[in-house]
Structure formats: structure tokens, C-alpha cells
Amino acid sequence: MGRPPSVKPTSFDIAYLAGVSQPTVSRALRGSKSVSAATRANIERIARELNYMVDKNASSLRSQRTHTLALLFFEDPTPDESMINPFFLSMLGSITRECALRGYDLLISFQQMHNDWHVAYQDSHRSDGIILLGYGDYQLYLSKLEHLVEMGTNFVRWGSVSSEGIGLTVGSDNVGAGEQAGAHLVEIGRRAIAFLGDASDHAPEFQDRYTGLCRALRAADIVPDAALQRDAISSEASGYAAAQSLLAGRKRFDAIFAASDLIAIGAMRALSEAGLKLPQDVAIIGFDDIPAAGLTSPTLTTVMQDMKGAGTLLVDALLASIDGRPVEQRMLPARLIRRQSTAV
Amino acid sequence: MGRPPSVKPTSFDIAYLAGVSQPTVSRALRGSKSVSAATRANIERIARELNYMVDKNASSLRSQRTHTLALLFFEDPTPDESMINPFFLSMLGSITRECALRGYDLLISFQQMHNDWHVAYQDSHRSDGIILLGYGDYQLYLSKLEHLVEMGTNFVRWGSVSSEGIGLTVGSDNVGAGEQAGAHLVEIGRRAIAFLGDASDHAPEFQDRYTGLCRALRAADIVPDAALQRDAISSEASGYAAAQSLLAGRKRFDAIFAASDLIAIGAMRALSEAGLKLPQDVAIIGFDDIPAAGLTSPTLTTVMQDMKGAGTLLVDALLASIDGRPVEQRMLPARLIRRQSTAV
DNA sequence: GGCCATAGGGTATACGTATACGCATAATAT
DNA sequence: ATATTATGCGTATACGTATACCCTATGGCC
């Protein structure tokens, strides 16, 4: 029934010291109820004394459960290789914390959008499930998701909840947030409100925000004007370009709702360079509340998403899906943060 | 010698199809040279067709190598629970990329500084080595490092390389960087240069930066004035407070070198509120080149560390240490980024 | 007092891979 | 032609845990 304790203690060592068999040790430590309280206490004491830790590999191999989740960042290739979207990074903290709380490890990896879906597949073999945080062209993204579904991989992704999507999705109430932003701009007297951000189904989240804006406009009896919308991806450069294009157009506008803070910041630069006064000439609202939003001048009114809730919900939904519990799509409320860029 | 292919292919399935034994499959796929080219090619082909992937748990269990590194963020507890130092986050990208390149997985976890060292110990059992990214009181940190050394854990940490430290360290040339910053301020005609940041051995990196500044001052025949130094930790609030304390002092100053961008940004706010013109009245230099540094007004001159190189070097050093190869402490050059806050 | 249920825990084994060892055959040396 | 070595691969087994199954003792029940 045993050998004496060795270098790295195993369940056998504990069994030997406790005078029981190895399986009993396993049962005791995993909380099986078919082990007496006295035996369990004894085993737990010895384990603590020896600094014993269950060997994760052996355990996973046997049980076929890794107790590990993989976090996969999907991104469009950027010129600056090492840049990561600050918005998703802010979710990292809460996801990690939530995983730790549930006793799960978190594996992390970054992928360029154009890469083989194989990577995700690979990750699915090292973990019980995958959390997907992606941005970029949604249509490119789709085929990868289909592969995952096909293979029965457990995964959740952050994205647009309102549009029907593939797989389990958690996201902010983008439509509602867009509506709040629009209502606020109307409230401060603006009527010619431009939207910067791709409004097609290549970017469902942006599309939702635009939908919300339009809804707010109609509620104020304003007819949304397609001539005041410009496509932009989430980068400062893209926002700058979009705003310039807007300025070049013949349509006048007195406010901008940008689909992300980076776009808004780029737009602000373009507007300033054109000699416009913010927010007097043009009020502007961003989205995400990245740290930089509080540092621009004027400081940027924006929509704050519930990142902490997001991490919790993502992990929660994924674990439910892994355990075969029923899960529903869930939407998180977003909140408007009023700053100088809309203070008139 | 086998059974037919099953659901999730194993090396046995491949062996069966290739008409060889399982160990041969293992050898072929791991690149052992005691397998003929023909056999290997055949095995690789079959593996590809079956979408075979080596079971990480089984492999790790047998070989006692996980091919996984753990990234551990150590932080002082912050009021805002989910905030992570943006500076370290920017290292995340390059570390991940480097790991992927070397075929290593990356496990990630966050820890409050005051937590049990046990967490690190635990992580050391799920990985071949640990990368420590920490900030906060270095003295608190020390005992944890000693534990790790004691246990023979492989680890590298980001920190001050010049001061003698425990374990393997990789870091920027903080002294040199401080010297560059000081020289630049002298060059634009400033002579009363303040330093914001803890200059004690509780924060070796900040101390190094201060040392560098003093060196530059002496080179210009200026005697460093201790009355122009204020302790600060890396946060905006702390920088704000430190600058206010400086303003309250009777010593006049015409420049500030802040030990981090966050400190600098806080200080800028305090100075602006005091009616001082930047950079005319006070020039200011930060450290880290966080994204926000380019967005403040005036934009902030700062020191950019080589984050990409840092990730590479950290992983490199750790793997060397794991493989028992000799490793030396290494220092990365830092570069001054000139912006408006020192443009006179 | 015989019968069955239950608690408590032991026995055997599987998870999938990597490696020490041994054994042929072929290549080379003498 | 025999001894020697290298090449290529099979055999056996270990890594440490979790679980299906089996056994024993005890207690309750009629």
C-alpha cells in the first residue's frame, strides 16, 4: 500500500502516512461523501503538512477535465504588432479574477484574424472552453465560429447580442446605449448628429449603436440622415479620416456620435485642426470609456460598459455551457459618462 | 497492436493506421532521429488527416514538462479592483507572442501583493516557470522571492537590474534613462529639476531613475537638491499630491522628472490648476510612454521602454533558466520621446 | 436471529504519452 | 567470413490521479 514520502509528494505518500489507500485520499480531497469525517480531516492535515498539491496533469488526464479556460483575442492585423485593444484588456482583470474564484486557470493567446481556425481548435484541447474576444470584420470571423460549433467546442464570445449570432454571446446593450447617447445629444439641443463607425453587418456592435442612435433621433422627430454616417474601424487614424470626410461633405452637423473612443479621439483631432470649437461647434460622444477619454481636451463624454460584469458573465455562461446547464444570451446595461465634450 | 480509430484520435490510432507501434508515432512526431524518413512522413501525413493533436496532459504527465509558463501580476491592492497597470499590460502582447513562438502556453494570474506566496507556488506546479511582473513595495515582495528561490522554482522578474536582487531579473536601463531625461531638461535650460517618485529602496526602479537624474545634473555642475524630491507611487492621484506638496514648498523649480507617466499626468493637473504654464513655467518628463501620454495637453515628453524586447528577453531568460543554460541579467535600452511638455 | 441496506474504503484499472531497454537487420570493419 | 556497430523499431512500463466495482462490518428491521 505504499512507499515512504518522496520529493514531490503524491497521493500515495499521503495514503501511506494516513494508513489508507490512494483512492481514499483522492476521494477525501475531492469531497466525496463516502469518506468518514475523521479520515478526511486526517488526510487534509497531512496534505497540508506535506504541502501536497494535486498534480494537474494526472488529474486532467484521468478525468478529462482540465479546469482551464482559454482566452482568445482575435484581432485584425494592425501595423503596430504589439498593440492590443485597450478596451478588451480592461476585461482581462475581471475574467482572471472570476476564473480564479471558480478554481479555473486561464490560458491566454492572441490571434490575427486571418489565421487558421486551427489555433482555436488547438486551444480547445488544452482547456474546457474558450472565451473569444474579437473585433474586426465579423464576416471573416463567422467561418471560424462555425468550425467551433461543428466540433462541439464550448465557447462564449463578446459581441452583439441583439443580432442573431452563432454560438453563445454576451455583450452590452448597444442599442440602448446608442439611444442614450442620441437622447443626450438631442437634450443639449443638437439635431444634425453624425455617426462615425461601420454601420453594416460586418460590425454588428457598431450597427447596433447606430440603430440606437436612429431610434433616439426618431423619438425626437428627427429623420436620420445617411449622409451623416461614415464608416470607421476602431482606431484613431480611422476616426481622423472619417471626420475629415465628414468635414469635406456638404452636410453641416453639430454633433458626432463615434462608435468607439479611439474613433472619437481621432475625430476630435480632425475637428480641432479644422478650427472648430468643441463642444460649442460640435459636441461629441465616444464609446468604451478608455482611460484616455478622461485625459483629452475637452474630456470626452462616452459610454461606459460594465467590464466587471462582463468578465463575470462570460465566465459564468461558459461554465454553464460546459456543465451542460441551460444558458441564455445575456445583455449588460451601459452607462453614459458626461464630460466636457457635451457640456454646453 | 491496435484498435481502429476512435472519436478523439490518439497516438495508438495513428500507429494502427501506419502499421507501427505507438512509441514509434511518439518518436516520429517529436522528431527523434531514430525513425526513418519514410516512416515519419507517413505518420505525419496520417496525423494531419486525422487532425491529431498530442494530448497535453498525458504528455506533460509523462515527461514532467508542461510547456507552459505562468505570468503572475503582483500588485498593491488598489481601490479600483479591476484596474491593471497599463504599462505591464503592454508587455502582455509581446510575452504572449514570444511564448507562442516557442511553443509554450501562457497561464495568467493576478495577485494582490499581500496574498500568500502560496499562489506562486501553486502556479509553479502548473507550469515550467513563472514570469513575475510586479510593482509596489519591493521590500514586501522580497520574502516571496526568497520562497521561490528556496523551492528551486524557475522564475524571472521585471525590475531593477542595477541593484543587486534576488533571482533572475530583466529590466530597462533605468539609470541611463534617468540620465537621458535629466540631460534633456538641462539642455533646454532648466536647472531646478524636481523628481517625483519614491527614491528609497522600496522602489528600486524609481531609485535608479533618480540616480540617473542626479548623474546628469552633476555632469552639468548642478548639485541635486533633496528638497526637490517627493515620494510618489505610480498613480495619478499620487502624482497630483506630490506636485501640490512641491508647490507648497518654498523651493522654486522649473522642471519635473516624474518616475512614471501616471505621476506626471497627476502633476500636470496640479500645476495647471495652480495657474502654471506648461512647459514655459515648468517642463515635465514622464516615464513609460503609456498611450495617454500622447493625448494630454501639452503632450507629454516621456521615456519609452522597449516592451517588445522586454517580452522576448523575459521569456528567453526564463526558458534558458529552465533548460539549465547559463543566463545573465540583461538590461534594455530606453529611449526619450520628445513631445510638447519639454518643447520650449 | 436472519436479512438487507448502508457506510466506509480497498482493488483494479484507465487516461495517453514518453522513454529505457532489447532485438533484429543491415552496414561496415578486419 | 566473422566481429562490430549503427539503424529502426517493438516491448514494457511509468507518470499520478479518478472512478467503477467489490467487499466487509455494522445497524435496523421484522
Q: Could you read off the pLDDT of A44-75 as tens digits, one per residue? A: 999 999 989 999 999 999 999 999 999 988 77
Q: What is the CB-side half-sphere exposure of residue B95 using CA atoms within 13 A?
A: 30
| The pLDDT value given to residue B84 | 60
Q: In Å, what is the separation between the CA of B32 and the C1' of D5? A: 20
In this prediction the pTM is: 0.89
C-alpha cell, B197: 517618485
How close are the terminal C-alpha atoms of chain B, in Å? 80
Is the CB of B57 inside 8 Å of chain A's CB atoms?
Answer: yes
d(CA A12, CA A5): 8
Residue B174 has pLDDT above 90, yes or no: yes
- Give the pLDDT of residue B4: 38
In this prediction, residue A1 has a pLDDT band, given cuts at 50, 70 and 90, of very low
* CB contact B34 to A (< 8 Å): no
CA torsion angle A242 A247 A252 A254 (round to 10): 70
Residue B10 is predicted with a pLDDT of: 93
Alpha-carbon distance of A158 to B301, in angstroms, equals 36
Q: CA-to-CA distance for B19 and B21, rounded, in angstroms?
A: 7
Could you report the per-residue pLDDT of A199-227, keeping only the tens digit for each? 888 889 999 999 999 999 999 999 999 99
Please calculate the CA angle B290-B292-B296 and round it to the nearest 5 degrees. Answer: 135
CA of B59 to C1' of D15 (A): 9
Task: Give the span between the Cα atoms of B83 and B192, in whole angstroms.
Answer: 35
Interface test with A, best of B84, B105, B153, B307 (most A CBs within 10 A): B105
Q: What percent of chain A has pLDDT over 90?
A: 63
Whether pLDDT at A131 is above 90: yes
d(CA A135, CA A88): 9
Binning pLDDT at 50, 70 and 90, where does residue B113 land?
A: low
Interface list for A 61-80 with B (CB within 8 A): 61, 66, 68, 71
Give me the phi and psi of A96, to 5 degrees please. Answer: -60, -45
**DSSP assignment, residue A201?**
T
Residues A318 and A127: beta-carbon distance below 8 Å: no
What confidence score (pLDDT) does residue A248 get? Answer: 94
| Burial (0-12, 13-18, 19+ Cβ within 10 Å), A34 | exposed
Q: Do A88 and A51 touch, CB atoms closer than 8 A?
A: no
The span from the CA of B208 to the CA of B205, in Å, is 5
| Chain D nucleotides near the protein (CB, 7 A) | 7-12, 14-20
A226 CB closer than 7 A to any strand C atom:
no
- pLDDT > 60? residue B2: no
Distances (CA, A) of A320 to A92, A102, A168, B27, B298: 20, 12, 11, 39, 49
Q: In whole angstroms, what separates CA B197 from the centre of its chain?
A: 19
Is the CB of B22 within 7 Å of strand C?
A: yes
Write the residue in A60, A105, A296 that is nearest to B57 by C-beta: A60
Q: Residue window 114-133, chain B: list those with CB within 8 Å of chain A.
A: 121-122, 125-126
Q: What is the mean pLDDT of residues B300-311?
A: 93
- A32-47 confidence digits (pLDDT tens): 888 999 999 999 999 9
Q: What is the pLDDT of residue A162?
A: 76
Q: pLDDT tens digit string along B233-242?
A: 988 899 999 9
List the 299-328 stretch of B: residues with Cβ below 8 A of A: 307-308, 311
- Rounded Cα distance, B194 and B9, in Å: 65
Residue B89, classed as helix, strand or coil, is helix
Q: Which set of grid coordinates corresponds to residue A173?
A: 446593450
Asked if residue B5 has pLDDT above 50, the reply is: no
Q: What is the pLDDT of residues B31-64, one digit of tens each?
A: 888 899 999 999 999 999 998 999 999 999 999 9
CB B315 within 8 A of CB B95: yes
Quick: pLDDT tens for A259-281: 999 999 999 999 999 999 999 99
pLDDT tens digits for B74-85? 776 554 544 566
Q: Tell me which H or E stretch contains A15.
A: helix A11-18
Checking if the pLDDT of A77 tops 80, the result is no
Question: Which residues does strand D reach (CB under 7 angstroms)?
Answer: A 8, 10-12, 22-23, 26-27, 29-30, 52, 54-55, 58-59, 61-63; B 1, 19-24, 27, 33-36, 38-39, 58, 61-62, 64
Give the H/E segment covering residue A125: helix A118-126
What is d(CA A279, CA A184) in angstroms, rounded to the nearest whole number? Answer: 13
B67 band by pLDDT with thresholds 50, 70 and 90: very high
Among A140-149, A325-334, B39-48, whose mean pLDDT is lowest? Answer: A140-149
Mapping DSSP to helix (H, G, I), strand (E, B) and coil, where does residue B1 land? coil
Q: Which of A67, A69, A83, A108 to mutate to test the interface with B (most CBs of B within 10 A)?
A: A108
C-alpha cell at A130: 474558450
Could you give the count of Cα atoms lying within 13 Å of A161 in the half-sphere of its Cβ?
18
Q: Could you tell me if B86 lies within 8 Å of chain A, comparing CB atoms?
A: yes
How many Å apart are CA B116 and CA B144, to the nearest integer?
A: 8
* CA A53 centroid distance within chain: 32
Alpha-carbon distance of B329 to B158, in angstroms, equals: 11
Instruction: State the pLDDT confidence band at B342, using cuts at 50, 70 and 90.
Output: very high
- DSSP-derived secondary structure letter, B337: E
Residue A84 predicted with pLDDT over 70:
no
Which bases on strand C have an atom closer than 7 Å to a protein beta carbon? Answer: 7-12, 14-20
CA A27 to chain centre: 37
Q: What is residue A5's predicted lDDT score, i.e. its pLDDT?
A: 39
- Listed residue (B103, B45, B46) closest to B69, CA to CA: B103
Average pLDDT, chain B: 88
